[in-house]
Structure 1
Amino acid sequence: MAFLGLRKWPTPVVKPLWTFMVAGGITGYLVYGAQQSGVRSAEWRTDARNPYAAQIARESLH
């Protein structure tokens, strides 16, 4: 008998979707790496539109 719509055995959610969660994490990591390499490229390193220009300049002094 269902009590307030809850079953005795819960419906599996994580088990069938673990591959998509892992793929999402890998995709996020690769996009982050591409963004970091693009921001730190020689073309964009000193560009005024780069929000990380000051941080990159400070790191290059050390």
Structure 2
Amino acid sequence: MSWFGVTPLKKFPAPVLGPMAPFFAAGLVIAYGINSLQGALMQSDEWKNDPRNIYAKNKAATH
């Protein structure tokens, strides 16, 4: 079935994942870096006793 001469499920032999692999890898590196930075900042002296700190809640529940 065509709509104005365009078939909706036509397969094009264009590589997609290969050229995008560096961007996927960079996204993983950035996500890991943000997660590590956030974890380090949550354990800093400024945020150690903040009620929004998930590490402080876990310490209060265990102690």
| Superposition TM-score, scaled by structure 2 size | 0.69
Where does structure 1 lack aligned partners over 5 or more consecutive residues?
none
Where does structure 2 lack aligned partners over 5 or more consecutive residues?
1-6
Partner of 1:20: 23
User: How many residues are treated as equivalent by the alignment?
Assistant: 56
Which amino acid counterpart does residue 17 of structure 2 have in structure 1?
A: V
In 2, Cα distance between equivalents of 1:40 and 1:34: 10
What CA RMSD, in Å, does the superposition of the two structures yield over aligned residues?
2.4
In 1, Cα distance between equivalents of 2:57 and 2:49: 9
Q: Percent identity?
A: 25
Distance 1:59 1:25, change over 3 A: farther
| Superposition TM-score, scaled by structure 1 size | 0.69
Task: Mark the structure with the bigger radius of gyration.
Answer: 2
Runs of 4+ in 1 over 6 A off after TM superposition: none
